[in-house]
Amino acid sequence: MDNERHKVSPKCFKRLEVPHGWTAEQDIQVFVARFGEADDYFGEALASVDNGYDQLEQCVDQALVLVGRNGISKAHIIHRVDMVRRVLSRNSSAKARFLSHLDYTRFALVEYFRLIPCYLHHGDRNWLAPLVQLSDCLNNAAMRLSEAIRTY
């Protein structure tokens, strides 16, 4: 692992989950504070996650174009992030901040692929909070990556 990975705050990489002793009331409050009242809480949360994922995927594809690797745009998104990082790591002018944004992007995507199957396959997940956190994480990663692309 290179030094740039250590410059990112470890808090950024905290697994998205509900705290021990979490209640249904707290769960609804987190959702309402972030999105407001809804007829379909899970539907709204999943739609927000989908929107964040779509935005992040667009940013990753823009980063591929930036580094001249847009030919792999059909590869799995985590592979695309890793490719951008590899190319930028070889570039002496690559900014550590850009690389840290890619690390955060990868973290957000790993959490997406960890959490979403639990909800889509009707597992024992019944909390909104991880979806709210995931939505924020994906949107934040997209915003960070977009900024890094603009300022590269």
CA 82, CA 62: separation in Å to the nearest integer?
Answer: 14
Name the H helices within 67-128: 77-90, 96-120
Residue 136: which residues within 8 A CB-CB, separation 6 or more? Answer: 34, 52
Burial 105-120 (b: 16+ CB within 10 A, else e): bbbbbebbeebbeebe
Angle subtended at Cα 78 by Cα 121 and Cα 59, rounded to the nearest 5 degrees: 105
16-61 pLDDT, tens digit each: 998 899 999 999 999 999 999 999 999 999 999 999 999 999 999 9
* Global pTM value: 0.86
